[in-house]
Chains A and B, each alone.
Chain A
Amino acid sequence: MTTTEDRGSDRRAGELTAWELLRWTWRQLTSMRTALVLLLLLALGAIPGSVIPQSGVDALKTQNWQDAHPHLTPIYEKLGLFSVYHSPWFAAIYLLLMVSLVGCIVPRLFVYWRSFRKDPPPAPRNLTRLPDHAAYTTDEEPGVVLDRAARRLSRGHRVSTSSSGEEGEGWVAAERGQLREAGNLLFHLSVLIVLVGFGVGSLFGYKGGVILVVGNSFSNTLTQYDDFDPGSLFDADNMEPFCFHVNPPFKVEWIDSGPRQGMARGFEADITYRTSCRGDQSSWSAPEDYRLRVNHPLTIGGTQVFLIGHGYAPVITVRDAQGHKLYDGPTIFLPESSNFESFGVVKAQGRTPGQDIGLEGLFYPTFALINGDPVNVMGDDRNPTISMLAYVGDLGLSNGVPQSVYALDKAGLTRLKKPDGKMFRVDLQPGQTVQLPDGKGSVTFHGVEHWTRLQLSRTPDVWVTLLGVVLALIGLLGSLFIRPRRIWVRARRSDGRTLVEVAALDRSGGGDLTPVLSSVVDSLQAAGDGAPAPAEEVRRTEEGTRA
């Protein structure tokens, strides 16, 4: 487009004023074609997010991907490809689409409102020019035919009539299916409702997760979460003051036979919760019980608690050379496969620097040696065994850098070996203790506890979004299946008889009007004075539908 700096009297042809440019831009933006292109851009823009790991969806996978692609990562980061749905360019697409949608819908609302109150448009002068028309002649008076047509068409149609000639010549116009456009408008407005609901939910809501060893309690404060993903406008002061306790025993139903032998079929956690745990214990609300299962979340106020997963927490004690307890308690191991062979680390900070003890290795719920190889037979803890490597040195816990509790930073650590230089492993079953080489200390494996992974989320006004999609679906159905249609009947004198012309127009552009036309003509003729017109007088052309 040309710039509009020197507008004035000496304006050249083809130049636009700023106002005209603005109007032109607005027209372009709100045109159907632009909406179409923006829709396709939206689809195109969403593709990277389904192929490249997204940090907001799976941070660990994203990190692994970034480590594996050192050259691509900086470029991708600049383009925002690791969080596509929060990137400015993605926002630009959907904001433009929204503007386009509003700009398209609002004027159409007014047009629709006006047309809804108007009568059906008068019959065109020449009905035979319409692609779908039929005609016949009769001896009835035009007025009689038109009256009958109006009565016939008033079922399901809005009808308007006009008669001008002395002998009752005139026309009947009928229209139906105006709700199609209403459905269309409803659909597009509902898209806005959905976006508002989605926005409110993700701005003011939050999602968090916690791994809780069975037998422990949780109270709903920020510090208790392992991971927390708040919306931009989330306020921690508004968190609901509930708390709950996961009661032992944790129940898992194991599959004993078939192709999924050894996997868990179902699991459930017994929860005792109180909706308010504020103040001292006497002012807490009464406890209630709930059996938490997958697909059956617990709702406390506006927050929901979901059981997402479970696993094992071996109870391990680590002592140093002097017999001091450096570490004691259930340690969360993360399952690596569906039979719950799990990986975990123990970080025991030493009493003196450089004397930290680290353990890293596997937990086998049902351990077996097959041909000399350690194998986990199934997920149930029938023969629990830990098999870990031991390290001493500096765990890096005191240098202030946050680190994952599920990974060992081996930079300052050395692996312990047997005195003969062979690999040393901490292989223990419940109740056993092993002394570390070089008198570094000992490790005891007491037994196994369960942990549950719980997800807590609060999505305010989720019903707005739901209402939006349901309305959108209703509107969509209306806009797809209501067939707007206009039918005109014109009757006039011709050569001493009455010529009746009928025409129909399908405004959705997809319908086949031939049956409609013939039904109208048949009913007009059949209901006549008992003398239906001979068949050969009916002339029909259907070239519009026969391509």
Chain B
Amino acid sequence: MTNDLGISNVAWEHLSNQAIGAAGIVYFLALLAHLVEWSALRAMPVTAARTAVPASATAGAPPLADCSPATPPDGPDASTRFRVEMFGRLALMLTVIACAAHFVALVGRGMAADPNRVPWGNMYEFTISGSFVVVAGYLLLRKRFGLAWMGPIVTALVVVLLMVAVLWLYAPVEPLSEALNSYWLVIHVMSAIIATGAFTLGGITSALYLVRARAERRGVDAAGTYVARLPSLAVLDRVSYRIHAFAFPVWTFAVLISGPIWAHQAWSSYWNWDPKEVCAFITWVVYAAYLHARATAGWRGRNAAILALVGVATLWFNFIGINYFSTTSQHSYASGASAVSLRDR
């Protein structure tokens, strides 16, 4: 029951559980650091913070990408400036550490199974993998798209997701059921999880777009608030579009190519109108509508953002809801999947 490294499966499982706990705690600390950072920023006028953004090396840096909480070079309040900078970096560092622990937890989960497998066998594992993709995507795109403003939201979301996973979805390590035992599991589920994580990031951006649009429409004096420090609507819209433009083809591959191929191998027909398939297709259609909406006058901006949120809702309903509400789905891995899927007519 030990594998090549001489570590027993039980030890791997313990390691995974502890790593998830550690990741959760460190994410929470990162969230706290972000909160301190942003509350310190309240003391600083937005314009000061914004004009003080150090000019990037290239003139071509995305405008407002540098909207990370920055500080006036020689502002009146040097200690505030120091606090903002310090806690911003601390939060980022903690997020990176937590993300590494998160990764260890995933690896441990896979190594704990006998035989070793990818950690995508049940809801618990899907949830921790999906939240890992959210954080990893945020960290990877942080610099490129200037996502520093997303920090508090991403860390808060991941803390909640990990809590849900550990408290309600936890399942001990089990071998894969026969139907899942295929290399298509790796291809299909990996693409689905990556797309889910990316769509979630896009959904966060679209939600903030709506929040900011609302604040602007109402002419709320948002000075000093979090909303005021969000990038402009145009930038939010563009970032959201880019993330969705990445996620949509991945989702297309997961749902309409690798999924049907695997279904054809395991269940004899490539499209079964299984509730999960239908719901994934609905998600696909909604995101297709989102991409169309961005190109259609009158649907740009606000309506497109709403569509993106509808898409995220169907995505997460599909992920969680279908498993618990639908009784006919062959994808029902939430409860102990039966060894046979027998369908009488």
Contacts and interface: CB of A to CB of B under 8 A. Distances in A.
Q: Do A and B bind each other?
A: yes
B281 A46 contact: yes
A450 to B, nearest CB: 12
Interface residues of A, number: 84
Nearest to A516: B60
Contact of B293 (A36, A310, A404, A547): A36
A231 B78 CA distance: 76
A209 B268 CA distance: 10
Nearest to A454: B268
B268 A36 contact: no
Given A264-B339, A514-B59, A294 B256 contact: no
A152 to B, nearest CB: 17
A85 interface: yes
Interface residues of B, number: 78
B118 to A, nearest CB: 15
A542 B60 CA distance: 10
Contact of B266 (A33, A306, A335, A545): A306
A226 B342 CA distance: 13
Contacts of A297: 265, 268
A454 B340 CA distance: 12
Given A46-B281, A306-B266, A469-B256, A311 B345 contact: no
Contacts of A512: 60, 62-63, 238
Contacts of B76: none
Contacts of B268: 207, 297, 304, 306, 308, 455-457
A224 interface: no
A355 B224 CA distance: 89
Contacts of A229: 345
Nearest to B255: A469
A42 interface: yes
Interface string A240-267: 0000000000000001001110011111
Given A49-B273, A308-B268, A545 B63 contact: yes
A53 B273 contact: no
Contacts of B178: 264-267, 294-295
B289 A36 contact: yes
Given A35-B292, A295-B181, A56 B269 contact: no
B208 to A, nearest CB: 15
A510 B238 contact: yes
B19 to A, nearest CB: 20
A509 to B, nearest CB: 8
A453 interface: yes
Contacts of B343: 58, 60, 209
B285 A42 contact: yes
B164 to A, nearest CB: 21
Chain B CB count within 10 A is highest, among A309, A519, A546, for: A309
Contact of A480 (B249, B292, B342): B249
Interface in B154-177: 171-175
B328 A58 contact: yes
Interface of B: 58-60, 62-64, 114, 171-175, 178-179, 181-182, 184, 232-235, 238, 241-242, 245, 248-249, 252-253, 256-257, 260-261, 264-276, 278-279, 281-282, 285-286, 288-289, 291-296, 298-299, 314, 322, 325-328, 336-345
Given A32-B295, A296-B265, A480-B249, 9 more contacts: A50-B275, A58-B328, A198-B271, A258-B175, A295-B182, A306-B266, A473-B249, A476-B249, A512-B63
Counting from the closest, the 8 A-B pairs by CB-CB distance are A515-B60, A309-B340, A547-B234, A50-B278, A227-B345, A547-B232, A43-B285, A50-B275
17 contacts: A42-B285, A57-B273, A60-B344, A61-B327, A260-B175, A267-B178, A311-B342, A338-B337, A456-B268, A457-B268, A480-B291, A510-B238, A510-B241, A515-B58, A518-B59, A519-B60, A546-B232
